[in-house]
C-alpha cells in the first residue's frame, strides 16, 4: 500500500511538473525548434531574450500592470469585505453575490464589455484600460478570500480597540488588517499571478504598449522557438524564487 501511495504521488507531481520540465529543458535547445532530440545546452536564447527591447518592455508592462492592479483590487476588496461583514444592510446577501458574480463570467465577455464602455466614452486602449480590466476580474477574488477569513475574533479585537478610543480608520488599518495579513497576502499575490498571466483582456484593451502574454502570442504566430521557452523559464524561475522568499520570510513569521 505504501508503494502504491508513493507511486500515485509521483504520478501527480509528474503530471503537474512535466510540462514545466520540458519547457525549461528545451529553452537550452541549440537548434531553432524546441522539439526532440535535445541539442545543447546553450544560453544563446536567454541572451537574445534579455537583449530584446520589445520583450523587456512587455515584461516591464506586465510587472507594472499586475502590481498596481492587484494593489487596487486588494484595497477595494478589503474595504468591501470589511463593510459587508461588519454592517448589516438590507440586501447584503445580494450585494455579496454581486461582488462575486464576475468570477463566473468569461474573461472574453468582460473584455468585450469593457471595450464597448471605453469606446463609448472616448478612452483608447492602453495599459491603463488593461489595468482597470484586471481590477474587475481580481476584485471578486480578493473580496471572497478576505471575507472568508473574517471571524468573530476580529470583531472582538475591533470592539476592544474602539472601547480604548481608537477611531474606525485606526481600527481598520491597525487592528483588522494585521490580523488578516495572511489572507491579504494570499489575495494580493493570487491577483498578481492572474494579472501576470492574463491574455484576453490584455489583448483587447491594449494597442501599442502590450503585456508579456500578448508579446509572446505575437511571437508564436511565426512558429515555435526556444526563445519563447526561455521567456517562460525566466518567468517560472522568478515566480518560484518569489514563492520561496515569501515562505521563508512573511509566512514563516506569521506561523511563529
Q: What is the pLDDT of residues 104-117, one digit of tens each?
A: 888 899 999 999 99
User: Residue 156's domain is classified under what CATH number?
Assistant: 1.10.3720.10
Verify that 129 and 256 share a domain, yes or no: no
Q: For position 177, what pLDDT does the model report?
A: 83
Q: For position 37, what pLDDT does the model report?
A: 74
Closest Cα to residue 150, out of 255, 254, 253, 80?
80
**Low-confidence residues in the chain, pLDDT < 50:** none
Q: For position 255, what pLDDT does the model report?
A: 55
Q: What is the pLDDT of residues 49-86, one digit of tens each?
A: 888 888 888 888 998 999 999 999 999 999 888 888 77
Q: For position 74, what pLDDT does the model report?
A: 94
> Cell 478589503 appears where?
78
Q: For position 42, what pLDDT does the model report?
A: 80
Q: For position 131, what pLDDT does the model report?
A: 93
Verify that 118 and 142 share a domain, yes or no: yes
Domain contains 58:
no
Verify that 69 and 184 share a domain, yes or no: yes
Q: For position 223, what pLDDT does the model report?
A: 72
Dist CA 211 CA 203 (whole Å): 8
Q: What is the pLDDT of residues 197-208, one digit of tens each?
A: 888 999 999 888
Verify that 89 and 112 share a domain, yes or no: yes
Q: For position 139, what pLDDT does the model report?
A: 93
Total domain count for the chain?
A: 2
Verify that 78 and 104 share a domain, yes or no: yes
Dist CA 32 CA 102 (whole Å): 42
Tell me if residue 243 falls in helix, strand or coil. Answer: helix
Q: For position 218, what pLDDT does the model report?
A: 83
Whether 222 and 12 have beta carbons less than 8 Å apart is answered as no
Verify that 201 and 235 share a domain, yes or no: no
Q: For position 254, what pLDDT does the model report?
A: 56
Can you give the residue range of the structural domain that contains 108? Answer: 64-209
Amino acid at each position: 500500500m505504501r508503494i502504491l501511495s508513493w507511486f500515485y504521488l509521483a504520478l501527480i507531481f509528474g503530471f503537474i511538473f512535466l510540462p514545466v520540465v520540458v519547457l525549461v529543458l528545451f529553452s537550452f535547445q541549440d537548434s531553432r525548434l524546441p522539439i526532440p532530440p535535445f541539442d545543447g545546452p546553450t544560453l544563446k536564447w536567454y541572451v537574445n531574450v534579455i537583449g530584446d527591447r520589445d520583450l523587456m518592455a512587455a515584461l516591464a508592462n506586465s510587472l507594472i500592470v499586475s502590481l498596481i492592479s492587484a494593489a487596487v483590487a486588494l484595497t477595494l476588496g478589503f474595504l468591501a469585505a470589511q463593510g459587508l461583514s461588519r454592517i448589516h444592510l438590507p440586501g447584503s446577501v445580494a450585494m455579496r453575490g454581486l461582488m462575486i458574480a464576475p468570477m463566473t463570467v468569461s474573461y472574453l465577455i468582460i473584455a468585450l464589455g469593457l471595450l464597448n464602455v471605453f469606446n463609448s466614452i472616448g478612452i483608447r486602449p492602453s495599459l491603463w484600460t488593461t489595468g482597470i480590466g484586471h481590477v474587475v476580474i481580481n476584485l471578486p477574488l480578493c473580496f471572497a478570500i478576505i471575507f472568508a477569513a473574517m471571524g468573530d475574533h476580529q470583531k472582538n479585537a475591533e470592539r476592544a480597540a474602539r472601547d480604548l478610543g481608537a477611531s474606525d480608520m485606526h481600527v481598520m488599518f491597525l487592528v483588522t488588517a494585521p490580523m488578516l495579513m495572511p489572507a491579504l497576502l494570499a489575495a494580493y499575490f493570487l491577483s498578481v499571478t492572474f494579472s501576470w498571466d492574463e491574455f484576453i483582456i490584455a489583448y483587447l484593451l491594449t494597442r501599442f504598449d502590450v503585456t508579456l502574454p500578448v508579446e509572446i502570442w505575437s511571437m508564436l504566430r511565426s512558429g515555435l522557438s526556444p526563445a519563447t521557452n526561455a521567456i517562460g523559464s525566466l518567468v517560472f524561475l522568478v515566480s518560484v524564487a518569489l514563492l520561496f522568499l515569501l515562505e521563508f520570510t512573511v509566512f514563516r513569521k506569521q506561523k511563529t
